[in-house]
Amino acid sequence: MKLADCELCQLDIDPIWKNELFSVINVNDVAYPGFVRVIWHEHVREMSDLPDAQRLAVNDAVWKVELAIRAVMQPAKINLASLGNVVPHLHWHLIPRYPDDAHFPSPVWAAAVRTTDEAVLAARRALLPQLSAEIIRRLNE
């Protein structure tokens, strides 16, 4: 089931990777290169709404995407969140975090405490094609 008023049900973006259950997309956040989302295709509110096999498949995908981010982006930490308070459609945020990012150590949704040097952000953005390739490789294993 897809809902007409759900932005994730209606999302029209080229994914990094996609199968019949979910997609992996690049969020394209200029301050957080490597921020990706794993989005369940059907309108499901909670993990516990999924049958076991689907829950295991998406958990495995989130794990593989996290491994890809760690390998390519080499963050100090990865924030993994599945909130859904604003958009109650099952999805995960995977966000590479660094001590020099604008919000560290707070969540990226908090008030910024600094500005990350543009050269640093540009170097991280340059890794995005490699990150996409690594996500594809791991999810196709």
What would the two tokens of residue 22 be?
């979910």
What are the C-alpha distances in Å from 48 to residues 44, 53, 83, 90? Answer: 9, 12, 14, 10
Measure the CA–CA gap between 133 and 128, rounded to whole angstroms.
9
In sequence order, what DSSP letters do the residues of 85-96 get, joined into one string?
Answer: SSS-S-EEEEEE
pTM above 0.85, yes or no: yes
Class level of CATH domain 17-139 = alpha beta
105-136 pLDDT per residue, tens: 999 999 999 999 999 999 999 999 999 999 99
**Which helix (DSSP H) or strand (DSSP E) does residue 17 occupy?**
strand 17-18
Measure the CA–CA gap between 88 and 123, rounded to whole angstroms.
34
Q: Tell me the residue type at 30.
A: V
Q: Quick one: pLDDT band at residue 2, thresholds 50, 70, 90?
A: confident
Per domain, the residue ranges of the chain are 17-139
**Strand, helix or coil at 37?**
strand
- Residue 43 or residue 73, greater confidence: 73
